[in-house]
Structure 1
Amino acid sequence: MDSFEKRLVEAVRRKREAEGLSIRALSSLVGVSFSTLARIERGEGLPDNNSKIRLLEWLGPDGEEAGLTFDRVAFVHFRAAKNVRSPTVHALLRSADLIRRNSGVSFSGESSAAPHQGNEAVTLSKEELEETADRFRKDLGLSPGQPLDSLRVEVEGILLFKLTETKCLERALVKHLSIDACDEWSAMSVPLNQGEDTWAVLLNDCHTVERQRVTLMEECWHILLGHKLTKIARVADGYGRTYDQAEEHDAFYLASATLLPRSAMIDAVSDRSTSADIARKFGTSAELVDYRLKRLGLWREHVGKRIALSSD
């Protein structure tokens, strides 16, 4: 364990014990699993960079007193693999800076300044998510059975930048993000002003059109729901980030519900359409269709599992 990690673990243990918290209680507070925290405190493992950020946030001034700080902080919405490499994060943050400079929107204050954020995540019930998706489609004038191409949707205050088409990024950045790191990220949303009413979405258009559609829809819902921004920071030997699992769930659920409306899914199951048939009709992947059917509780009917009472 290097000196940074040793100081971090010791500072966390001191504050936890001083506040009378169990490891399980701390786990609930910081969003790091109990098993991970217990292993770290026993000296049997190392926290990853995402865990380091959460622990540093919880330590607050106690961490600063121990010389534990973030080297750089940025706030964005971030669609990337859990183990995205530091060079890719660095390239995305550089892209965010360039997009801000070339967007034509005046950003008052430093781009690394913490934006206004609510204290608690606001989660929606399943029915509220379905109703929200239905209203969105109705506002676009779509019928339940009509496909939605989210790449054609214009949302006030959201500017779309496609990676390979935008002119504001350096060639080396585009090469890295489109070739070397293509599978590591899907999209990034960047607030263009401190009021967070104007945004840029950088979309990885090297992915399939079907994947781009759900990715862009998910980013739009993060913005339209007022979700907390992801904090990305360099800590010790690499970048880490925060995220809220409940908000991630709501944004993805809404993206799937917007592209695959409930009533249309019920009709498709009744017609015995396959996942591939439904995907072709609505311009999505079969995997998204399967997710949607399972979340709606339609999987048994979809796969044709018959049920009956025994005659005994």
Structure 2
Amino acid sequence: MLIAQLVKMDKFEKKLVSAVREKREREGLSLRALSGIVGISFSTLARVERGEGSPDNNSKIRLLEWLGPDADEHELGFDRVAFVHFRAGKNASSGTVQTLLRAAVCLRQHYGVSDTSEPSNVPTDAEVIPMSKEELEQTADDFRRDLGLKKNDPLEPFYLVVDSVTVERLRDSSCIDRETRNTLAGPSRNEWSAMSVPLNAAQDSWVVFLNDHHTIERQRVTLLEEYWHILSGHKLTKIAKIAGSFGRTYDSAEEHDAYFLASATLLPRDAVRRMVSDGKSAAEIASFFGTSPELVEYRIKRLGLWRDHIGKKVSLAKP
């Protein structure tokens, strides 16, 4: 049975590679051009086309999306699809993705309203322009101001109330069955941090499913990341089952923006600048704002303060 399954997977992958090559050549695209379109590295695409490797599940999803109607003509497609925001390692295992998909279905049924249709990423004509670093910083500053926080005030994300967003912690979940909970708290524990599930097609009601088996410092930034995904209107992640395995899409730019905004909201730039200037260590700054020292170091680097932080002096030698 296992051999038959492997043969089936081999056939699927061969059909997928053949369909991609056929469309790429028909449209006159180089491998490098296709790499930019689908978000898969040039080296990976070249290796796959040469038959020297198989695309991972996440790459298969991207290639199937790019094929569009061509996928149907080659009898290729998804066995199952769901749309969420998904905070996990880029290479989270198929089993973890499958378990989270099962949790997403349960959460939608438990919290869902009358509209039970599956949300999706609806294409729009408007071009999405990435935010600059200054725009991200200003967005975080405005958010803190709207909350009535002063420049030095720590923010406790667990006290945040976001309209039509419910937070469900893994430990306290009354929805998730025991098998799913044990998997997500055990073997998959370090592969995921959170998942935001839209409860209707309009995406105006959400539940954030939080892994509370992580440190409280990690949970704080994770929860804020999920809020920022929702508040920024980021594209939903597609979780899909393909030929017996599960994968997902991954938008590195939007993941970066959400993480940047979360860190800037927790660690306001003016306060960090002043504390670095006063000689405070990363651990001291982290303790004050309730974050990890690693997040503080990320902020210091993003603010261009690393040289000041480590005390490296510079000078010009006399001729």
Aligned to 1:13: 21
Gaps of 5+ in 1: none
- Tell me if 1:169 matches 2:181: no
For 2:130, which of 120, 123, 126 is the aligned residue?
123
- Tell me if 1:51 matches 2:68: no
Aligned to 1:36: 44
For 1:215, which of 219, 222, 229 is the aligned residue?
222
Deviation at 1:104, TM superposition (A): 5.1
Gaps of 5+ in 2: 1-8
Percent of matched pairs sharing the same residue: 60
CA-to-partner distance for each residue in 1:24-63, whole Å, 9 max, x for gaps? 0111111111011111111111111111110111111111
Please tell me whether the aligned partners of residues 121 and 247 of structure 1 are also in contact (alpha carbons under 8 angstroms): no
CA–CA distance in structure 1, aligned partners of residues 202 and 315 of structure 2: 58
For 1:274, which of 265, 278, 281 is the aligned residue?
281
For 2:84, which of 76, 85, 105 is the aligned residue?
76
Count how many residue pairs are aligned between Structure 1 and Structure 2. 310
AA aligned to 1:242 is: T
CA–CA distance in structure 2, aligned partners of residues 143 and 224 of structure 1: 22
Deviation at 1:194, TM superposition (A): 1.2
Aligned to 2:3: none
CA–CA distance in structure 1, aligned partners of residues 170 and 203 of structure 2: 22
CA–CA distance in structure 1, aligned partners of residues 154 and 81 of structure 2: 39
AA aligned to 2:79 is: D
Please tell me whether the aligned partners of residues 53 and 242 of structure 1 are also in contact (alpha carbons under 8 angstroms): yes
CA–CA distance in structure 2, aligned partners of residues 104 and 4 of structure 1: 35
Please tell me whether the aligned partners of residues 115 and 194 of structure 1 are also in contact (alpha carbons under 8 angstroms): no
Q: How does 1:1-312 map to 2 (within 5 A)?
A: 2-103=10-111, 105-109=113-117, 111=118, 114-118=120-124, 120-312=127-319
CA-to-partner distance for each residue in 1:109-164, whole Å, 9 max, x for gaps? 2x3x5353546544111111111101111111111111111111111121100110
- Runs of 4+ aligned residues of structure 1 deviating over 6 Å after TM superposition are none
AA aligned to 2:21 is: R
Deviation at 1:210, TM superposition (A): 0.1
CA–CA distance in structure 1, aligned partners of residues 172 and 123 of structure 2: 32
CA RMSD of aligned residues (A): 1.3
Q: TM-score, normalised by structure 2?
A: 0.94
Residues 57 and 89 of structure 1: CA distance in aligned 2, closer, same or farther (over 3 Å)? same
Please tell me whether the aligned partners of residues 187 and 216 of structure 1 are also in contact (alpha carbons under 8 angstroms): yes
Which deviates further from its counterpart, 168-177 or 118-127? 118-127
